[in-house]
Structures are given as structure tokens and as C-alpha cells.
Copies of this chain bind each other. A is one copy, B any other.
Amino acid sequence: MEEEQSPRLPATGEPERKHEDAVVDAEDPGSTCNGASSLEQPLLKRSNTLTASHLAMVGAKVSRIESLDYEIIENDLFKHDWRRRSNVEVLQYIFLKWAMAFLVGLLTGVIASLINLAIENISGLKMLHMVNLVRDKRYWAGFLYFSGINLALTFVAAVLCVVFAPTAAGPGIPEIKAYLNGVDTPNMFGAPQLFVKIIGSIGAVSSGLDLGKEGPLVHIGACLANLLSQGGWGKYKLKWRWLRYFNNDRDRRDLITCGASSGVCAAFRAPVGGVLFALEEVATWWRSALLWRTFFSTATVVVVLRGFIEVCRDGRCGMFGEGGLILFDVGDVAVRYHPGDLLPVTIVGVLGGVLGALYNHLLHKVLRVYNLINEKGRLAKLTLALAVCVMTSVMLYVSPFAVPCTPCSPEFGESCPTTGKSGNFKQFNCPGGHYNDLASLLHATNVDATRNIFSTGTAGEFRLDSLLIFFAVYCVLGLFTFGIAVPSGLFLPIILMGSAYGRITALLLSRFARIDHGLYAVLGAAALMSGSMRMTVSLCVIFLELTNNLLLLPITMFVLLIAKTVGDAFNPSIYEIILDLKGLPFLEPKPEPWMKDLTVGELAAAKPRAVTLSVVEKVSTIVDVLRSTRHNGFPVLDRPRPGVSELHGLVLRSHLVAVLRKRWFLGERRRTEEWEARERFTSAELAEKAGDVEEVVGMISLEEMEMYVDLHPFTNTTPYTVVETMSVAKAVVLFRSVALRHMLIMPKFQGPEISPIVGILTRQDLRAHNILDSDY
């Protein structure tokens, strides 16, 4: 293959001043870089343009998404702002950063505790009354009561979600992941989302649906972080001068990372696991300083949780307060390894990988179908949620009748059978001295069910057929519950499924399994999590902190590694699938191998010509450009003297709109002095998000349209640039490492007739998926 280094020049020169014809039709495939066409074997067909979609599914609705500005915009106003910043202001900033991290942790901890309190009490009372009805053999009344309460709770959750905050449905983790990767989804981290997420989560979880509060808690943490950093929501914002330091995407990103890890910590009472989850799964960029701050947040959460547990000890909070700081304590079992354990443990790992991948595959299909239903409108969404709730109620209520009662063994002690509160040996429909093992698992909150199935020293407690029914029920529910319009987490459904198959494996292979059956349930849960979510270190620590058995660690690592390897052989992780399904332009860390064979120049040539501005530009041109394109950054060119051209930098759409809004126009084509712009604009004002052009255009008179704008003070003079011959693989590494929004492509050759810019690439242009779709 002929290389592109042969000395060659563009066949046709660039137009002398391309700013005048800045608005280019999107159908025009004319390449800015004619030079690339001299390649003997072009890898790109030039006939089609590289069309990048700016739309994605946000909460079952197609919305316009934007990229975030994580790059430092080095323009005159910004530089002036930090040059003037005093030491006191720097200290204010540092103090506020830590205070925010503390507040995020504190509030997440308090909210999580209150959610827990509500769920345990609501569903505890519900179960208690239902069990009483069943004990009196009033089965139909019990069913109607059970499903009626469930329906009411789901209705509340779903109506809130559908009417007030459609984006609050689901876990929210994929959107947070995308945000931290640089993709802003609208209406994701506001006050309505926070409120709906809290109330909806309480309703959905206590209605017995097969979903967890873990994902929603992560989202709650992120919402809190965002609201705190903005000083409020919408019109109701705190007007505090200190807060202006946080009015940028970089600091918000850090705080949302703190929020996400606080959420995980609050969900699992796992402070280190929370930090690692944020690090391994959610965050794209990471610094040591951030590690420390997230750690501080989760430490705060854990102190709050401990405080609540101390307060609620001795039953002062109703049914809440059991369990202590460790959710599923299996620390009392001594683990001794035996070579014979290798077989069943390996089977658990392999099955975890296979089942996890299968779950991902099936969930993908179900979510596609659900998307079709959800698109039909609010009523369809609501109906779907209620239908799933009815199905859940039926399955949970009826299944225990299908298994026979088990007589209590004396070794279980006095706790068998349990009639009142939550316990391991539910009597349900059985005579005295007997218990219904399936009811112990199904008629409990999801957390209690997990605790029961993880319980150690109870090898004979659960019958194989009960476990099989339990597994089947939760497989069905796990697939069909996730996509409905209520706040829902994925963790607990997967843990429940995994623990069931772990125990089943232990029962089937009981000849080989010398490790406690409860530990097999833990291993199964870990394996399925790893098989579906493909995390390693963070899962390992979360399970360690959940179960408090350090001796289980080596074997957990073993199982996690197997399950992840097996799962990766089939499909990507569940979060990646959801990201893809929603169309969020997530940038993968590793470029595809074929990207090495493609240069950025070729990519740029496949796009419509870049729309550039002159450094002192006519108002009408700016208005035209803003109205006719949806680009967010425009290269600014200058030509200080004949034959010398300059890529002056990049100006953002939001800054142009701000200039038009303030009508900072000049009567003549001249360069302004620095103080002129500073008199009118502050760096904090420019940090605000851009409004719509159309709002602004109406205010500009026809005379003003003929005036000029000096773009010098607003132009980021040092955008990141690469040469057109760079491979896309290398460019993607740069784009992601430095967290870019726009990457400017410079020509290989420099001369009097060559434009200083070849094109401009954004996140969408560099995604493997988009490049492949655009007709190669």
C-alpha cells in the first residue's frame, strides 16, 4: 500500500477568504483537504458525508445531546480572570470544593437512610398483614391485599416518573457514565429528577418489584452534586459569589464523581467499594486528588449510616435498623480451601459468565420492545409498569403454594418457624412446626431475601425445587422489570438471580462442595454480576464489604475473573449495551485496530467543509452561521498580511450567542483593546450555557447586522490541533486522554495558498460506530 508521505500538494488552492462563504450546505461533500485525494488507495469513499447524529434516547424520549467542555478555554477573558484571582479566592475555591464533597456525602447518606427507613417500614407492614391473612387461610383476601398495595405503590412511582421526570426512570448510571465521558444529556441532574428518584424509588422497591435502590441512589448522589455545584435549580438558584468557581464542566464532573461513589457507598454500605465503582465503571478520567476527595465523601456517608444505625438500634425506627453496617454478614464461616472445591467453583464462574452474557442479550431485546411501547405515550408507559407490577404480585404470591412445607429441624433453633417480622423460616401457609422455604425468599424485601439466601450454616434449609422456582421467577422478573418507567437498579435483581443459581450449583454438586452453601450463593451472585457488568476490582471490594469474609477473597477473585472472561467472549457489558441502545456517544478507551489505517484528514474530508469565521467578523455572517448550523465551535482564521495566514483559534457557540445578546458590535472592522471587552463581559457570564440564537436574533436591528464583532477576546487561541496525516487511532487517544470537545485538523503542508485548517472533528466523528456507518 502506498503511503501518504510522498510530497504532494493540493491540486487546487483554497479560496483566498473562505469566511465569506462560511455557510456550507450539509449535502455538499466538497472536501476542505483536497490533498488527501491524492492517495492512491483511498480508504474512504468520498461520495457520502460523515453524518454525526446529535440525538439520543434520554428517558425513553429522543433528545438533543451536547458535549461538555472539559478543555481549558484559553481566551483573553479567561486568562484575565485567573491572573486576577487572589490567594484568598484560591483558598475559597479549595475550601468550597471540600465542603461540597462533604455535603454531597452527608446528604446522600441522610437520603439513603430515609429511603431505607421508608422501604423497610412500608414493605414490612405490608408483608406482616398479608401473612396474617394467609395464616387465617383467607388466601384470596391476602392476594387482593398484597397486589392492591403493590399496584398503588407502583402507580405512585410510575405516575411521578412519567409525568414529572421521564429521565428519572431506570438506574441513571449509564447517563452518569456518559456525562463523565463528556456527554451532556438534558434534564438529567435537576431537582425534579432528584425528587422523583427518591419518592419513586421508595414506591417501586416497597411494591415488591424486582429492582434495587442501588442505581437510583447513585443517580441521587449525582443529582445532589449537580444541584449543589449550581447552587440550586432553574430559577431558584442561590446567588452566592463563591459558587461561580463551580460554574464549569470540569469541577462539576469531579463533584458528580463524588456523588456517584457516595451513592454506591450508601447502597451497599461499602465506602471503598463505592470509590472503586466510580473509578472502574463510571469515571473516564481520574486523578489521584479525585480519589482522595471521593474517599472523603464516602467516609462521610458511612459515618452518617453508622449514626442512623446507632439511633435505630433497639427498634426505635419501626422495622428498620437490623443488619448493622455489614449488609449480608457471612464472616462467621471459616473458609478452608481444598483442591476438590476447584470444580464447583469453576462451574459457578463459567455459568456466571454465560448466564450474565445471556442476560445482557435478552435484556437488550426486551428493552428494544419496551422502547417501542414507551414511545406510544404516557398512558402506555403507565400501563406497562402496572402490568409488570401485577405479574410480579401474582408470581410472588402464588409460587410458594407450589412447594410443600418443610418440617423445622431442631438445629435451626427457636427461630423456626418465623411468623411475625422478617426471618429466615417463614411459616406462611404451613402448619405449626413447618416452614415454607420459598416464602422465606419471595415474601421479603429484596434485601432480606438476599440475606436469607446468603445465610450460612443452612445447607438443608432450601429445597432444590424451591430454589429452581425462585431462580426462574427472578429470571423472568429481572428481564421484564428493568425497562419500565420507575427508578430501578440492576444490582439487586442480578444478585438475587446469581445467589439462587449459586445455591443450586452447590446443591447439585454437594458431593464436591465442601464450602458452605451460603458462600456458594455469594459466589454465584458475584459471578453473575461480573458476567453481566464486567467489573472486577470494584465488585470484589463491594462483595468483601457486603459479606465481611476476607478469607473468601481469593476465591471471589478467581470466580470474578472467570466470569468476566467468559462474558467478554459473548457481548459487551450491560452498561455499554444500554449506552449503545440510548445512542449516547460514549468514547471507548481503546481505538479499534482498523483506525490505524485511516487518517484524520480522510475523516475530515468526508465531512462537510468546516465553517470558519474571520477574526473580526460581520454580525450578519455570525447570525447566519449560528442559524444555519448546529456546530458548537467555529475555527477563527486571520490573515495578518498577504501570504501569511493564521489559525487564530476556536470560538464557542455559547460565546457568540453571548456577544449577540449583549450586542457588543463595532461600527468598523477593527481590533478592539483588551479593556473594551472586559468592560462588558466577565468570565463568569461566559461560563453560562448558550441560549438559543433565535431568541437573540430578534433583538438585532438591520443596521446592527452590518456592523462587526471582534472575536479576539472570546477565541480560545490554543485549541488542540493535529496534523491531517495522523491516524485516527492516535487522534482518538489524544481526544479521550485530554478530554476534548473539538479537535482541529491542520494541513501537512504550509504555504501561501494553503488554508491553515483542514477540518474539525468532534466526538461523534471519532466514534467507531459512526465511521463504519458512513458508507465505507
Residues of chain A whose beta carbon lies under 8 Å from any beta carbon of chain B: 1-3, 5-9, 72, 74, 76, 79, 82-83, 90, 271-272, 275-276, 279-280, 286-289, 291-292, 295-296, 298-299, 302-303, 306, 310, 325-326, 331, 337, 536-537, 540-541, 544-545, 548, 550-551, 553-554, 557-558, 561, 564, 589-590, 593, 596-597, 638, 640-641, 643-648, 671, 674, 712, 715, 717-718, 720-723, 725-727, 729-730, 733-734, 737-738, 746, 748-752, 754, 756
Chain B nearest CB from A536 CB (Å) reads: 5
Q: Are B712 and A718 in contact (CB under 8 A)?
A: no
Knowing A3-B79, A553-B272, say if A749 contacts B306 (CB, 8 Å): no
Q: Are B730 and A725 in contact (CB under 8 A)?
A: no
Task: Compute how far the CA of A564 lies from the CA of B289 in the bound complex, rounded to whole angstroms.
Answer: 12
With a cutoff of 8 Å between Cβ atoms, the chain B residues found around residue A641 in the complex are 7, 9
Task: Compute how far the CA of A79 lies from the CA of B751 in the bound complex, rounded to whole angstroms.
Answer: 28
Residue in contact with A287 in the complex, picked from B287, B589, B646, B722, CB distance below 8 Å:
B589
With a cutoff of 8 Å between Cβ atoms, the chain B residues found around residue A83 in the complex are 1, 596-597
With a cutoff of 8 Å between Cβ atoms, the chain B residues found around residue A548 in the complex are 550
Q: Are B646 and A750 in contact (CB under 8 A)?
A: yes
Q: Are A302 and B79 in contact (CB under 8 A)?
A: no
Q: Are B721 and A723 in contact (CB under 8 A)?
A: yes
How many identical subunits does the complex contain? 2
Q: Are A554 and B596 in contact (CB under 8 A)?
A: no
Q: Are B730 and A723 in contact (CB under 8 A)?
A: no
Chain B nearest CB from A590 CB (Å) reads: 7
Chain B nearest CB from A752 CB (Å) reads: 5
Task: Compute how far the CA of A536 lies from the CA of B5 in the bound complex, rounded to whole angstroms.
Answer: 50
With a cutoff of 8 Å between Cβ atoms, the chain B residues found around residue A536 in the complex are 291-292, 295
The 8 closest A-B pairs by CB, nearest first: A7-B640, A644-B751, A718-B726, A299-B557, A737-B737, A750-B750, A302-B554, A548-B550
With a cutoff of 8 Å between Cβ atoms, the chain B residues found around residue A79 in the complex are 3, 596, 727
Q: Quick one: closest B residue to A748, CB to CB?
A: B646
Q: Are B280 and A291 in contact (CB under 8 A)?
A: yes
Task: Compute how far the CA of A746 lies from the CA of B647 in the bound complex, rounded to whole angstroms.
Answer: 11
Q: Are B271 and A553 in contact (CB under 8 A)?
A: yes
Knowing A272-B537, A557-B302, A750-B645, say if A717 contacts B288 (CB, 8 Å): no
Task: Compute how far the CA of A102 lies from the CA of B44 in the bound complex, rounded to whole angstroms.
Answer: 41
Residue in contact with A730 in the complex, picked from B74, B590, B756, CB distance below 8 Å:
B74
With a cutoff of 8 Å between Cβ atoms, the chain B residues found around residue A553 in the complex are 271-272, 302, 545
> 7 pairs across A/B with beta carbons < 8 Å?
A296-B561, A302-B554, A303-B558, A306-B554, A331-B331, A733-B738, A737-B737
Q: Quick one: closest B residue to A326, CB to CB?
A: B550
Residue in contact with A288 in the complex, picked from B5, B280, B643, CB distance below 8 Å:
B280
